[in-house]
């Protein structure tokens, strides 16, 4: 029996962030595995409107951007499984395999004081206490007990990389509105 997906076409929000991909079908009632890109996928658990784009590789069972109305997300075997309004059975869930999952940044739950979503830190300028520019946040690395800022900067006309632990001992202030992070760090470290 072949099942066709009946997904609603949608426009990807301007503030969309890719958070996961869809894995294999789970069970016979339309549930599917979700493979988050983050170790703490709270936004996926709470958002009820996901935007999907086709898998980058493999079979494409839909095109463009579609919206998926999520009815439930729960933990299972150290991962996540979810079900959606328009995914009625296992066959339909299998057609979603590999799809990229996006959420509007506006749908993320608020961060706690002193906590930040990585996506909000990328692109911020980093300066030290003396106001010396150290670079721009290009990426973040989870290095076990701490997160590390990966900065890009230019020196002598060549692109360079600087790593700064994102811990209170070195980070004085994060000003999201001002797009700036102030650190206790010197350019020659």
pLDDT at 2: 46
Count of domains for the chain: 2
For residue 177, pLDDT over 60 is answered with yes
For residue 92, pLDDT over 90 is answered with yes
Alpha helices in 28-157 (DSSP H): 42-46, 90-94, 118-121
Other CB atoms within 10 Å distance of the CB of residue 38: 14
* Pair type for strands 180-183 and 171-175: antiparallel
For residue 56, pLDDT over 90 is answered with no
**pLDDT tens readout for residues 93-141:** 999 999 999 999 999 988 888 889 888 999 999 999 999 999 999 999 9
Other CB atoms within 10 Å distance of the CB of residue 160: 11
**115 and 48 Cβ atoms separated by less than 8 Å:** no
In a domain, 188, yes or no: no
Are residues 63 and 24 part of one domain? yes
CB within 8 Å of 148: residues ≥ 6 apart: 140, 141, 163, 164, 165, 166
In a domain, 112, yes or no: no
CATH (domain of 22): 2.40.30.60
Report the alpha-carbon distance of residue 142 to residue 152 in Å, rounded: 17
Which domain range does residue 42 map to? 8-107
* Pair type for strands 100-104 and 49-53: antiparallel
């Amino acid at each position: 029996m072949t099942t066709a997906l009946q997904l609603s076409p949608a426009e990807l929000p301007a503030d969309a962030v890719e958070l996961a991909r869809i894995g294999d079908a789970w069970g016979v009632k339309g549930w599917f595995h979700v493979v988050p890109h983050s170790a703490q996928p709270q936004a996926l658990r709470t958002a009820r409107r996901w935007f999907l784009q086709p898998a980058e590789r493999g079979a494409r069972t839909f095109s463009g951007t579609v919206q998926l109305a999520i009815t439930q997300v729960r933990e299972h075997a150290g991962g996540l499984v979810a079900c959606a309004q328009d995914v009625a059975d296992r066959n339909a869930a299998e057609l979603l395999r590999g799809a990229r999952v996006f959420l509007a940044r506006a749908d993320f739950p608020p961060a706690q004081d002193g906590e930040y979503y990585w996506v909000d830190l990328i692109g911020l300028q980093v300066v030290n206490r003396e106001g010396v520019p150290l670079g721009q946040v290009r990426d973040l690395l989870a290095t076990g007990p701490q997160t590390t800022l990966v900065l890009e900067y230019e020196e002598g006309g060549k692109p360079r990389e600087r790593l700064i632990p994102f811990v209170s001992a070195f980070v004085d202030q994060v000003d999201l509105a001002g797009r700036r992070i102030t650190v206790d760090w010197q350019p020659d470290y």
